[in-house]
Structure 1
Protein backbone atom coordinates (compact mmCIF):
# COMPACT_ATOMS: atom_id res chain seq x y z
CA UNK A 1 0.00 0.00 0.00
CA UNK A 2 2.85 2.32 0.77
CA UNK A 3 4.31 1.72 -2.68
CA UNK A 4 0.97 2.49 -4.32
CA UNK A 5 0.63 5.69 -2.30
CA UNK A 6 4.16 6.77 -3.22
CA UNK A 7 3.49 6.15 -6.91
CA UNK A 8 0.24 8.09 -6.67
CA UNK A 9 2.02 11.01 -4.99
CA UNK A 10 4.74 11.03 -7.66
CA UNK A 11 2.16 11.01 -10.46
CA UNK A 12 0.33 13.90 -8.79
CA UNK A 13 3.57 15.88 -8.44
CA UNK A 14 4.51 15.28 -12.08
CA UNK A 15 1.05 16.33 -13.22
CA UNK A 16 1.21 19.43 -11.09
CA UNK A 17 4.59 20.34 -12.60
CA UNK A 18 3.48 19.67 -16.20
CA UNK A 19 0.34 21.79 -15.97
CA UNK A 20 2.08 25.22 -15.85
CA UNK A 21 4.35 24.18 -18.72
CA UNK A 22 1.36 23.16 -20.81
CA UNK A 23 -0.34 26.49 -20.08
CA UNK A 24 2.83 28.38 -21.02
CA UNK A 25 3.15 26.48 -24.30
CA UNK A 26 -0.50 27.04 -25.21
CA UNK A 27 -0.13 30.76 -24.49
CA UNK A 28 3.15 31.05 -26.41
CA UNK A 29 2.13 29.24 -29.60
CA UNK A 30 -0.18 32.01 -30.95
CA UNK A 31 2.44 34.64 -30.14
CA UNK A 32 5.14 32.58 -31.84
CA UNK A 33 3.01 32.12 -34.96
CA UNK A 34 2.30 35.86 -35.06
CA UNK A 35 6.01 36.71 -34.77
CA UNK A 36 6.89 34.27 -37.55
CA UNK A 37 4.12 35.70 -39.74
CA UNK A 38 5.35 39.26 -39.21
CA UNK A 39 8.94 38.26 -39.96
CA UNK A 40 7.93 36.48 -43.17
CA UNK A 41 5.77 39.42 -44.22
CA UNK A 42 8.73 41.77 -43.79
CA UNK A 43 10.91 39.47 -45.91
CA UNK A 44 8.29 39.63 -48.67
CA UNK A 45 8.12 43.42 -48.32
CA UNK A 46 11.91 43.55 -48.54
CA UNK A 47 11.85 41.79 -51.91
CA UNK A 48 9.11 44.11 -53.19
CA UNK A 49 10.93 47.24 -51.97
CA UNK A 50 14.27 46.13 -53.47
CA UNK A 51 12.55 45.58 -56.82
CA UNK A 52 10.87 49.01 -56.63
CA UNK A 53 14.17 50.76 -55.84
CA UNK A 54 15.88 48.92 -58.70
CA UNK A 55 13.15 50.03 -61.13
CA UNK A 56 13.43 53.62 -59.93
CA UNK A 57 17.21 53.54 -60.42
CA UNK A 58 16.80 52.11 -63.93
CA UNK A 59 14.22 54.78 -64.79
CA UNK A 60 16.52 57.51 -63.48
CA UNK A 61 19.46 56.27 -65.57
CA UNK A 62 17.39 55.94 -68.76
CA UNK A 63 16.38 58.83 -71.03
CA UNK A 64 13.08 60.49 -70.22
CA UNK A 65 10.17 58.84 -72.03
CA UNK A 66 7.20 60.71 -73.52
CA UNK A 67 4.40 61.16 -71.00
CA UNK A 68 1.80 58.43 -71.35
CA UNK A 69 -1.83 58.65 -70.23
CA UNK A 70 -2.27 57.39 -67.59
CA UNK A 71 1.39 57.65 -66.59
CA UNK A 72 3.36 55.24 -64.44
CA UNK A 73 3.96 56.84 -61.08
CA UNK A 74 7.60 57.80 -60.34
CA UNK A 75 8.46 57.34 -64.03
CA UNK A 76 10.96 59.70 -65.63
CA UNK A 77 9.13 61.45 -68.46
CA UNK A 78 9.17 64.50 -70.69
CA UNK A 79 6.24 66.68 -71.68
CA UNK A 80 5.89 69.83 -73.74
CA UNK A 81 3.66 72.83 -73.19
CA UNK A 82 3.59 76.44 -72.10
CA UNK A 83 4.01 77.65 -68.53
CA UNK A 84 1.20 79.76 -67.09
CA UNK A 85 3.39 81.90 -64.83
CA UNK A 86 0.42 84.10 -63.84
CA UNK A 87 -1.01 81.16 -61.86
CA UNK A 88 2.12 79.91 -60.07
CA UNK A 89 2.10 79.07 -56.36
CA UNK A 90 4.48 78.00 -53.59
CA UNK A 91 4.60 74.56 -52.00
CA UNK A 92 5.89 73.73 -48.53
CA UNK A 93 8.85 75.25 -46.72
CA UNK A 94 12.50 74.31 -47.17
CA UNK A 95 15.56 75.89 -45.56
CA UNK A 96 18.84 75.96 -47.45
CA UNK A 97 21.61 77.37 -45.35
CA UNK A 98 20.32 80.65 -43.91
CA UNK A 99 17.67 81.06 -46.63
CA UNK A 100 14.04 80.04 -46.23
CA UNK A 101 12.37 78.92 -49.42
CA UNK A 102 9.67 76.78 -51.00
CA UNK A 103 8.94 74.82 -54.16
CA UNK A 104 7.66 76.81 -57.13
CA UNK A 105 4.60 75.13 -58.67
CA UNK A 106 3.50 76.32 -62.12
CA UNK A 107 0.76 74.97 -64.41
CA UNK A 108 2.02 73.63 -67.73
CA UNK A 109 -0.63 74.21 -70.38
CA UNK A 110 -0.86 71.47 -73.00
CA UNK A 111 -2.55 71.36 -76.37
CA UNK A 112 -5.60 69.10 -76.22
CA UNK A 113 -4.91 67.87 -72.68
CA UNK A 114 -5.42 69.02 -69.11
CA UNK A 115 -2.74 71.25 -67.59
CA UNK A 116 -0.13 69.59 -65.41
CA UNK A 117 1.13 71.15 -62.20
CA UNK A 118 4.94 71.22 -62.38
CA UNK A 119 7.13 71.51 -59.31
CA UNK A 120 9.87 73.51 -61.01
CA UNK A 121 12.20 73.49 -58.00
CA UNK A 122 13.29 75.46 -54.96
CA UNK A 123 13.11 79.26 -54.79
CA UNK A 124 13.79 81.62 -51.87
CA UNK A 125 10.81 83.36 -50.35
CA UNK A 126 12.55 86.71 -50.71
CA UNK A 127 11.36 88.01 -54.05
CA UNK A 128 14.49 90.05 -54.91
CA UNK A 129 16.14 86.91 -56.32
CA UNK A 130 15.76 86.49 -60.08
CA UNK A 131 13.63 83.50 -61.07
CA UNK A 132 13.64 82.19 -64.64
CA UNK A 133 10.19 82.17 -66.24
CA UNK A 134 10.57 80.93 -69.81
CA UNK A 135 7.96 81.98 -72.34
CA UNK A 136 6.61 79.99 -75.26
CA UNK A 137 6.85 76.26 -75.85
CA UNK A 138 9.07 74.36 -73.39
CA UNK A 139 9.86 70.70 -72.76
CA UNK A 140 10.07 69.64 -69.14
CA UNK A 141 11.79 66.48 -67.92
CA UNK A 142 10.82 65.18 -64.51
CA UNK A 143 9.30 62.36 -62.51
CA UNK A 144 5.59 61.71 -62.18
CA UNK A 145 4.29 62.63 -58.74
CA UNK A 146 1.06 60.77 -57.84
CA UNK A 147 0.01 63.60 -55.54
CA UNK A 148 -0.67 63.60 -51.81
CA UNK A 149 -3.72 64.05 -49.63
CA UNK A 150 -3.79 66.18 -46.47
CA UNK A 151 -4.06 64.44 -43.11
CA UNK A 152 -4.57 65.52 -39.51
CA UNK A 153 -0.95 66.65 -39.26
CA UNK A 154 -0.85 68.61 -42.52
CA UNK A 155 -0.43 72.37 -42.38
CA UNK A 156 -3.43 74.34 -43.63
CA UNK A 157 -3.14 75.68 -47.18
CA UNK A 158 -3.63 79.35 -47.95
CA UNK A 159 -5.44 79.26 -51.33
CA UNK A 160 -5.88 83.03 -51.47
CA UNK A 161 -2.16 83.56 -50.94
CA UNK A 162 -1.26 80.63 -53.22
CA UNK A 163 0.67 78.94 -50.43
CA UNK A 164 0.27 75.18 -50.27
CA UNK A 165 1.70 72.54 -47.94
CA UNK A 166 0.30 69.38 -49.52
CA UNK A 167 0.93 68.55 -53.18
CA UNK A 168 -2.70 67.81 -54.00
CA UNK A 169 -3.08 68.64 -57.75
CA UNK A 170 -6.91 68.89 -57.85
CA UNK A 171 -7.01 71.16 -54.79
CA UNK A 172 -4.10 73.33 -55.95
CA UNK A 173 -5.49 73.53 -59.48
CA UNK A 174 -8.86 74.73 -58.20
CA UNK A 175 -7.19 77.31 -55.96
CA UNK A 176 -5.18 78.60 -58.94
CA UNK A 177 -8.36 79.05 -60.95
CA UNK A 178 -7.89 76.13 -63.34
CA UNK A 179 -11.11 74.53 -64.51
CA UNK A 180 -9.33 71.24 -65.10
CA UNK A 181 -5.97 69.81 -64.07
CA UNK A 182 -4.23 66.43 -64.38
CA UNK A 183 -4.71 64.30 -61.23
CA UNK A 184 -0.93 63.87 -60.98
CA UNK A 185 1.97 66.30 -61.03
CA UNK A 186 5.49 66.52 -62.41
CA UNK A 187 8.64 67.24 -60.42
CA UNK A 188 11.20 68.82 -62.72
CA UNK A 189 14.67 67.28 -62.92
CA UNK A 190 17.80 69.15 -63.91
CA UNK A 191 21.46 69.74 -63.18
CA UNK A 192 22.83 72.17 -60.64
CA UNK A 193 23.28 75.40 -62.56
CA UNK A 194 23.00 78.12 -59.97
CA UNK A 195 19.82 79.53 -61.51
CA UNK A 196 16.35 79.62 -59.99
CA UNK A 197 14.24 77.68 -59.56
CA UNK A 198 16.66 74.94 -58.50
CA UNK A 199 15.20 71.63 -59.76
CA UNK A 200 15.50 68.21 -58.19
CA UNK A 201 18.50 66.09 -59.20
CA UNK A 202 17.23 62.56 -58.61
CA UNK A 203 14.08 60.51 -58.34
CA UNK A 204 12.91 59.83 -54.77
CA UNK A 205 13.88 56.58 -53.08
CA UNK A 206 11.52 55.07 -50.50
CA UNK A 207 12.96 54.05 -47.15
CA UNK A 208 13.85 50.38 -46.89
CA UNK A 209 13.95 49.17 -43.27
CA UNK A 210 12.31 45.79 -43.88
CA UNK A 211 15.44 43.71 -43.28
CA UNK A 212 15.83 45.21 -39.81
CA UNK A 213 12.17 44.61 -39.07
CA UNK A 214 12.40 40.98 -40.24
CA UNK A 215 15.45 40.38 -38.02
CA UNK A 216 13.58 41.93 -35.10
CA UNK A 217 10.49 39.73 -35.48
CA UNK A 218 12.48 36.53 -36.05
CA UNK A 219 14.74 37.45 -33.14
CA UNK A 220 11.73 37.85 -30.86
CA UNK A 221 10.47 34.45 -32.00
CA UNK A 222 13.83 32.84 -31.11
CA UNK A 223 13.84 34.64 -27.77
CA UNK A 224 10.36 33.29 -27.01
CA UNK A 225 11.54 29.76 -27.80
CA UNK A 226 14.52 30.29 -25.50
CA UNK A 227 12.27 31.44 -22.66
CA UNK A 228 10.04 28.38 -23.11
CA UNK A 229 13.05 26.06 -23.13
CA UNK A 230 14.43 27.63 -19.95
CA UNK A 231 11.01 27.40 -18.28
CA UNK A 232 10.71 23.72 -19.26
CA UNK A 233 14.16 22.91 -17.86
CA UNK A 234 13.33 24.57 -14.57
CA UNK A 235 10.10 22.56 -14.30
CA UNK A 236 11.90 19.28 -15.06
CA UNK A 237 11.91 17.06 -11.97
CA UNK A 238 15.28 16.12 -10.54
Structure 2
Protein backbone atom coordinates (compact mmCIF):
# COMPACT_ATOMS: atom_id res chain seq x y z
CA UNK A 1 0.00 0.00 0.00
CA UNK A 2 3.03 2.31 0.00
CA UNK A 3 2.43 5.38 -2.17
CA UNK A 4 -1.24 4.49 -2.69
CA UNK A 5 -4.30 6.04 -1.09
CA UNK A 6 -5.90 3.82 1.54
CA UNK A 7 -9.39 2.73 0.50
CA UNK A 8 -12.20 4.43 2.42
CA UNK A 9 -13.54 1.08 3.69
CA UNK A 10 -10.21 0.33 5.34
CA UNK A 11 -10.12 3.79 6.90
CA UNK A 12 -13.51 3.12 8.41
CA UNK A 13 -12.27 -0.20 9.82
CA UNK A 14 -9.17 1.43 11.29
CA UNK A 15 -11.13 4.33 12.80
CA UNK A 16 -13.81 2.01 14.20
CA UNK A 17 -11.28 -0.29 15.79
CA UNK A 18 -9.27 2.71 16.96
CA UNK A 19 -12.26 4.23 18.77
CA UNK A 20 -13.08 0.90 20.39
CA UNK A 21 -9.44 0.38 21.42
CA UNK A 22 -9.23 3.92 22.83
CA UNK A 23 -12.34 3.40 24.95
CA UNK A 24 -10.98 0.09 26.27
CA UNK A 25 -7.59 1.69 26.92
CA UNK A 26 -9.08 4.55 28.94
CA UNK A 27 -11.28 2.14 30.91
CA UNK A 28 -8.40 -0.22 31.74
CA UNK A 29 -6.08 2.64 32.73
CA UNK A 30 -8.81 4.08 34.97
CA UNK A 31 -9.23 0.72 36.67
CA UNK A 32 -5.47 0.45 37.14
CA UNK A 33 -5.22 3.93 38.69
CA UNK A 34 -8.17 3.13 40.96
CA UNK A 35 -6.43 -0.02 42.21
CA UNK A 36 -3.24 1.97 42.86
CA UNK A 37 -5.24 4.31 45.10
CA UNK A 38 -6.81 1.32 46.87
CA UNK A 39 -3.37 -0.23 47.30
CA UNK A 40 -2.09 2.84 49.15
CA UNK A 41 -5.34 3.12 51.17
CA UNK A 42 -5.16 -0.52 52.30
CA UNK A 43 -1.47 -0.15 53.07
CA UNK A 44 -2.29 2.74 55.44
CA UNK A 45 -4.99 0.60 57.08
CA UNK A 46 -2.53 -2.23 57.60
CA UNK A 47 0.04 0.13 59.11
CA UNK A 48 -2.59 1.51 61.50
CA UNK A 49 -3.58 -2.03 62.53
CA UNK A 50 0.03 -3.03 63.19
CA UNK A 51 0.50 0.12 65.28
CA UNK A 52 -2.73 -0.57 67.20
CA UNK A 53 -1.55 -4.11 67.88
CA UNK A 54 1.50 -2.73 69.72
CA UNK A 55 -0.49 -0.19 71.76
CA UNK A 56 -2.46 -0.83 74.93
CA UNK A 57 -6.21 -1.41 74.43
CA UNK A 58 -8.44 1.66 74.34
CA UNK A 59 -11.76 1.78 76.25
CA UNK A 60 -14.64 0.32 74.27
CA UNK A 61 -16.71 3.21 72.89
CA UNK A 62 -20.21 3.38 71.39
CA UNK A 63 -18.90 3.03 67.82
CA UNK A 64 -15.82 0.82 68.01
CA UNK A 65 -13.61 0.21 65.02
CA UNK A 66 -12.80 -3.38 64.02
CA UNK A 67 -9.19 -2.33 63.49
CA UNK A 68 -8.33 -1.26 67.03
CA UNK A 69 -7.71 -3.15 70.25
CA UNK A 70 -10.38 -2.32 72.82
CA UNK A 71 -10.93 -3.14 76.49
CA UNK A 72 -14.18 -3.58 78.37
CA UNK A 73 -14.65 -3.50 82.14
CA UNK A 74 -17.38 -5.47 83.84
CA UNK A 75 -17.98 -9.04 84.96
CA UNK A 76 -18.44 -12.42 83.34
CA UNK A 77 -21.92 -13.90 83.41
CA UNK A 78 -21.42 -17.37 84.83
CA UNK A 79 -23.27 -20.47 83.73
CA UNK A 80 -23.95 -19.35 80.14
CA UNK A 81 -21.95 -20.54 77.12
CA UNK A 82 -22.72 -20.93 73.43
CA UNK A 83 -21.00 -22.53 70.47
CA UNK A 84 -20.62 -20.84 67.10
CA UNK A 85 -19.64 -22.43 63.80
CA UNK A 86 -18.41 -25.79 62.63
CA UNK A 87 -14.71 -25.50 61.89
CA UNK A 88 -11.99 -28.03 61.17
CA UNK A 89 -8.43 -27.43 62.35
CA UNK A 90 -5.35 -29.43 61.51
CA UNK A 91 -3.24 -30.90 64.29
CA UNK A 92 -0.37 -33.39 64.58
CA UNK A 93 -3.02 -36.00 65.37
CA UNK A 94 -5.12 -35.12 62.33
CA UNK A 95 -8.14 -32.89 61.66
CA UNK A 96 -10.07 -31.73 64.72
CA UNK A 97 -13.65 -30.50 64.69
CA UNK A 98 -14.65 -27.55 66.82
CA UNK A 99 -16.00 -24.00 66.92
CA UNK A 100 -15.87 -20.67 68.71
CA UNK A 101 -16.82 -20.49 72.39
CA UNK A 102 -19.16 -17.57 73.11
CA UNK A 103 -19.52 -16.28 76.69
CA UNK A 104 -21.54 -13.23 77.84
CA UNK A 105 -19.81 -10.35 79.61
CA UNK A 106 -21.81 -7.62 81.35
CA UNK A 107 -20.23 -4.19 81.06
CA UNK A 108 -20.32 -1.58 83.78
CA UNK A 109 -23.20 0.14 81.94
CA UNK A 110 -25.32 -3.01 82.19
CA UNK A 111 -25.14 -3.91 78.49
CA UNK A 112 -24.16 -7.49 77.76
CA UNK A 113 -21.40 -8.03 75.21
CA UNK A 114 -20.91 -11.49 73.74
CA UNK A 115 -17.24 -12.45 73.88
CA UNK A 116 -15.67 -14.94 71.51
CA UNK A 117 -13.06 -16.60 73.74
CA UNK A 118 -11.61 -18.60 70.85
CA UNK A 119 -11.70 -21.99 69.16
CA UNK A 120 -12.39 -25.12 71.20
CA UNK A 121 -12.60 -28.72 70.14
CA UNK A 122 -15.97 -30.43 70.18
CA UNK A 123 -19.50 -30.12 68.83
CA UNK A 124 -21.15 -28.28 71.73
CA UNK A 125 -20.12 -25.63 74.29
CA UNK A 126 -18.60 -26.46 77.63
CA UNK A 127 -17.89 -24.23 80.59
CA UNK A 128 -14.39 -22.88 81.12
CA UNK A 129 -12.92 -21.33 84.27
CA UNK A 130 -13.51 -17.56 84.36
CA UNK A 131 -12.60 -15.04 87.07
CA UNK A 132 -15.38 -13.96 89.40
CA UNK A 133 -16.12 -10.34 90.26
CA UNK A 134 -14.78 -7.36 88.35
CA UNK A 135 -12.78 -8.22 85.24
CA UNK A 136 -11.39 -6.71 82.06
CA UNK A 137 -11.58 -8.33 78.63
CA UNK A 138 -9.71 -7.03 75.58
CA UNK A 139 -9.89 -7.81 71.90
CA UNK A 140 -11.49 -6.43 68.74
CA UNK A 141 -15.11 -6.07 67.66
CA UNK A 142 -16.69 -8.15 64.93
CA UNK A 143 -19.92 -7.17 63.22
CA UNK A 144 -22.77 -9.67 62.79
CA UNK A 145 -22.22 -11.99 59.87
CA UNK A 146 -24.92 -12.20 57.22
CA UNK A 147 -25.82 -15.53 55.70
CA UNK A 148 -28.31 -16.59 53.08
CA UNK A 149 -31.61 -18.36 53.70
CA UNK A 150 -29.95 -21.78 53.49
CA UNK A 151 -27.81 -21.38 56.62
CA UNK A 152 -28.50 -24.14 59.18
CA UNK A 153 -30.91 -23.31 61.97
CA UNK A 154 -29.43 -23.07 65.48
CA UNK A 155 -29.70 -25.91 67.96
CA UNK A 156 -31.12 -23.99 70.91
CA UNK A 157 -31.18 -27.06 73.14
CA UNK A 158 -27.40 -27.35 72.88
CA UNK A 159 -26.78 -23.61 72.30
CA UNK A 160 -25.05 -24.27 68.99
CA UNK A 161 -25.31 -21.50 66.39
CA UNK A 162 -24.23 -21.29 62.76
CA UNK A 163 -24.77 -17.53 62.38
CA UNK A 164 -22.78 -15.00 64.37
CA UNK A 165 -25.86 -12.99 65.28
CA UNK A 166 -25.46 -11.31 68.71
CA UNK A 167 -29.16 -10.48 68.94
CA UNK A 168 -30.25 -14.10 68.37
CA UNK A 169 -27.58 -15.57 70.65
CA UNK A 170 -28.30 -12.98 73.35
CA UNK A 171 -32.04 -13.72 73.18
CA UNK A 172 -31.30 -17.44 73.56
CA UNK A 173 -29.32 -16.56 76.70
CA UNK A 174 -32.32 -14.63 77.98
CA UNK A 175 -30.83 -11.11 77.71
CA UNK A 176 -32.76 -8.06 76.52
CA UNK A 177 -29.84 -5.63 76.17
CA UNK A 178 -27.07 -7.05 74.02
CA UNK A 179 -24.41 -5.13 72.11
CA UNK A 180 -24.84 -5.35 68.31
CA UNK A 181 -21.39 -6.87 67.86
CA UNK A 182 -19.15 -9.62 69.22
CA UNK A 183 -15.91 -8.93 71.06
CA UNK A 184 -13.24 -11.34 69.82
CA UNK A 185 -10.73 -11.95 72.60
CA UNK A 186 -7.07 -11.47 71.69
CA UNK A 187 -4.46 -13.07 73.84
CA UNK A 188 -1.55 -15.49 74.20
CA UNK A 189 -1.84 -19.20 73.71
CA UNK A 190 -4.10 -20.76 76.36
CA UNK A 191 -3.43 -23.63 78.69
CA UNK A 192 -3.95 -27.12 77.29
CA UNK A 193 -7.59 -27.77 76.48
CA UNK A 194 -8.70 -24.15 76.78
CA UNK A 195 -10.07 -21.89 74.05
CA UNK A 196 -7.53 -20.73 71.47
CA UNK A 197 -8.00 -16.94 71.20
CA UNK A 198 -7.22 -14.80 68.18
CA UNK A 199 -3.46 -14.09 68.14
CA UNK A 200 -3.78 -10.52 66.86
CA UNK A 201 -6.05 -7.96 65.27
CA UNK A 202 -7.49 -8.94 61.86
CA UNK A 203 -5.29 -7.80 59.00
CA UNK A 204 -7.26 -7.41 55.76
CA UNK A 205 -5.46 -8.59 52.62
CA UNK A 206 -4.01 -6.10 50.17
CA UNK A 207 -4.00 -7.54 46.65
CA UNK A 208 -4.62 -4.23 44.89
CA UNK A 209 -1.04 -4.06 43.59
CA UNK A 210 -1.57 -7.28 41.65
CA UNK A 211 -4.92 -6.06 40.36
CA UNK A 212 -3.36 -2.78 39.23
CA UNK A 213 -0.62 -4.62 37.33
CA UNK A 214 -3.29 -6.79 35.72
CA UNK A 215 -5.30 -3.79 34.46
CA UNK A 216 -2.19 -1.98 33.20
CA UNK A 217 -1.03 -5.16 31.51
CA UNK A 218 -4.38 -5.52 29.74
CA UNK A 219 -4.12 -1.88 28.64
CA UNK A 220 -0.75 -2.67 27.05
CA UNK A 221 -2.30 -5.68 25.31
CA UNK A 222 -5.00 -3.42 23.82
CA UNK A 223 -2.34 -1.09 22.40
CA UNK A 224 -0.32 -3.96 20.93
CA UNK A 225 -3.41 -5.61 19.49
CA UNK A 226 -4.40 -2.38 17.73
CA UNK A 227 -0.89 -1.98 16.30
CA UNK A 228 -1.03 -5.52 14.94
CA UNK A 229 -4.52 -4.86 13.57
CA UNK A 230 -3.35 -1.70 11.77
CA UNK A 231 -0.38 -3.57 10.31
CA UNK A 232 -2.67 -6.36 9.10
CA UNK A 233 -5.08 -3.91 7.41
CA UNK A 234 -2.28 -1.99 5.74
CA UNK A 235 -0.71 -5.16 4.35
CA UNK A 236 -3.94 -6.50 2.90
CA UNK A 237 -3.88 -6.74 -0.90
CA UNK A 238 -5.92 -4.14 -2.77
**Structures share fold, TM-score greater than 0.5:** yes
| 1:63 and 2:56 aligned | yes
Please provide the CA RMSD for this pair.
2.3
Larger helix proportion of the pair: 1
Q: Is the 8 A contact 1:116 1:185 kept in 2?
A: yes
Aligned pairs for 1:40-59 within 5 A: 40-59=33-52
Quote how far apart the aligned CAs of 1:126 are.
Answer: 6.3
Residue in structure 1 matching 2:197, options 196, 199, 222: 199
Match of 1:220 among 210, 218, 221: 218
Kindly state the Cα deviation for residue 49 of structure 1 after the two structures are TM-superposed: 0.7
TM-fit CA distance, 1:130: 7.5
Q: Could you tell me how far apart the structure 2 residues matched to 1:129 and 1:71 are? A: 29
**Per-residue deviation, 1:100:** 1.4
In structure 1, what is the equivalent of residue 84 of structure 2? 91
Q: Which residue of 2 aligns with 1:75?
A: 68
Cross-structure match for 1:17: 10
Moved more, 125-134 or 21-30: 125-134
* Alpha-carbon distance, 1:127 to partner: 7.2
Cα displacement (A) at 1:216: 0.5
Answer yes or no: is 1:141 the counterpart of 2:138. Answer: yes
Q: Mean Cα displacement is larger for which, 142-151 or 196-205? A: 142-151
Count of residue pairs brought into register by the alignment? 228
Matched, 1:229 2:227: yes
- Name the residue aligned to 2:206: 208
Q: Distance in 2 between matches of 1:153 and 1:36?
A: 40
Distance 1:61 1:216 in 2: 35
1:163 paired with 2:156, answer no
- CA–CA distance in structure 1, aligned partners of residues 104 and 127 of structure 2: 19
Match in the other structure for 1:102: 99
1:147·1:183 contact (CA, 8 Å) conserved in 2? yes
**Distance across 2 between alignment mates of 1:153 and 1:47:** 37
Give 1:132 shift: 2.2
C-alpha separation in 1, matches of 2:9 and 2:100:
71
CA change 1:129–1:120 in 2 (3 A) is closer
> Does the CA-based 8 Å contact 1:74-1:145 persist in structure 2?
no
CA-CA distance at 1:129 after TM superposition: 8.1
- Residue ranges of structure 1 left out of the alignment (5+ in a row): 1-9
Q: 1:4 — aligned with what?
A: none
Match of 1:120 in 2: 117
Q: Do 2:190 and 2:197's aligned partners in 1 also have CA atoms closer than 8 Å?
A: no
Distance in 2 (CA, whole Å) between partners of 1:61 and 1:225 is 48
Larger radius of gyration between Structure 1 and Structure 2: 1
